[in-house]
Amino acid sequence: MIQLAVNIKELALKNPVMTASGTFGYGTEFEDFIDVGRLGGIVVKGTTGSRREGNPYPRMAETPAGMLNAVGLQNKGVDAFIADIYPNIRHYQTNIIVNVSGSTIDEYVSIAEKINALDDIPAIELNISCPNVKEGGMAFGTSCSSAHHVVEAVRKAYSKTLIVKLSPNVGNIAEIAMAVEDAGADSVSLINTLLGMAIDANTRKPVLSTITGGLSGPAVKPVALRMVWQVYKAVRIPIIGLGGIMNATDAIEFLLAGATAIQVGTANFIDPQVTIKIIDGIEEYCGRHGVKSINELIGYAHKY
C-alpha cells in the first residue's frame, strides 16, 4: 500500500493533487467528467468582498505551450458564495479551499472572517498575486512589507490553515516567502501566473482588453520549478507547487523540488480528467520506484 496522503499543517490531503484557483470553477463544472472526491483538494475561484464582473472581453490568448488570461477575478462575492455555492459543494469528499482576494487589507480580513465560520472549509488561500486587477492583488505580493502586513492581519482573523499564494513577478520570491512565513502563514503556494502579453500582427493591436495578462501552462513550468526549489531552501512551512503541471511526471518533479502538494491549473482546460490521471500516475510512479510514502519524494532533489 503506497501512502499518498500529505499534510499542509492541519490540512490533511488524501493525496497531493489539488486544483488551482480559477481553473476548476467550484468543482461542479467537472462532475460529469470525474469523481471530485478523489482529489486532494479543490481551490475554488478567487473570491472577493463583493461581486466583480472582471475585465472586458477578450480575456484570453493562446500562446506557445500555454495561454494568457486576464479574467480579473470575476466572481459573485463572498456572501453569494456562502449562500448559493457553499451549500452545493460542502458535501464533497475532498477539501474545499477558498481563494481569497481583495483590494484592501480590510477586505481580505472581512472575507477571511466570514469563511472562518464555515465548518466545511478547512483552509483559505490568500491571493496576493493576481496580475489582472488594478487595485490590490499582486500589489500586496510584490513587496515583503506589504505581503507581511496583509498576512499578519488575516492571520489574526483566521484560525484554520492559511495558505498564501505567491507571485512570480518579483525579484526574489524566497524573500517574500520568508516574510509571509514570519507573518504567520501555514503554507505558501507558488506560482501564480507570469505577467505577459500578446499582439496580433494582423490587426496590429494587443490581443487582451487589458493589454497584459497572466501566462500559464507548460511554458512557465521551468520558472515555477526553480522558484519552488528556491523557496524550499528559504522556509520551513510546506510548499504547494504549481505552474504548467500537465501530467504525473511534472507533478513528481515539483515534489522533488520541495513541494508537499501540487496544484493542477491550465491542464484542466485541455483534459477535464487530467487530475485523476495525475493521481493514478503518481501512485504508479511510486510503485515502479519502490516509494512507500509520497513524503519520501518531497525535496529529494536537494540531496544532490
Active site residues: 130
Please state, in angstroms and rounded to a whole number, the distance separating the CA atoms of residues 190 and 13. Answer: 18
63 binds another protein (CB under 8 A): yes
Please state, in angstroms and rounded to a whole number, the distance separating the CA atoms of residues 211 and 40. Answer: 35
67 binds another protein (CB under 8 A): yes
- Within 10 angstroms of residue 83's Cβ, the number of other Cβ atoms is 11
What is the DSSP pairing of strand 212-216 with strand 66-69? antiparallel
**CB-based contacts of 232, cutoff 8 Å, min separation 6:** 239, 257, 258, 259, 299, 302
Q: Closest distance between another protein and the C-beta of residue 69, in Å?
A: 6
Please state, in angstroms and rounded to a whole number, the distance separating the CA atoms of residues 296 and 304. Answer: 15
User: In this complex, which beta carbon is closest to another protein, that of residue 48 or of residue 266?
Assistant: 266
Q: Closest distance between another protein and the C-beta of residue 208, in Å?
A: 10
199 binds another protein (CB under 8 A): no
Q: Closest distance between another protein and the C-beta of residue 270, in Å?
A: 6
What angle, 0 to 180 degrees and rounded to 10, lies between the N-to-C axes of helices 274-288 and 248-257? 60
Rg of the chain taking only CA atoms, in angstroms:
18
Cell readout for 241 is 507547487
Q: Closest distance between another protein and the C-beta of residue 255, in Å?
A: 24
**Residue keyed to cell 485541455:** 270
87 binds another protein (CB under 8 A): no
User: In this complex, which beta carbon is closest to another protein, that of residue 26 or of residue 254?
Assistant: 26
Judged by CB under 8 A, which stretch of 27-35, 97-105, 189-197, 285-293 contacts another protein?
27-35
197 binds another protein (CB under 8 A): no
**Residue numbers at the binding site for another protein (CB under 8 A):** 22-25, 29-30, 32-33, 45, 53-54, 56-67, 69, 71, 74, 217-219, 266, 268-273
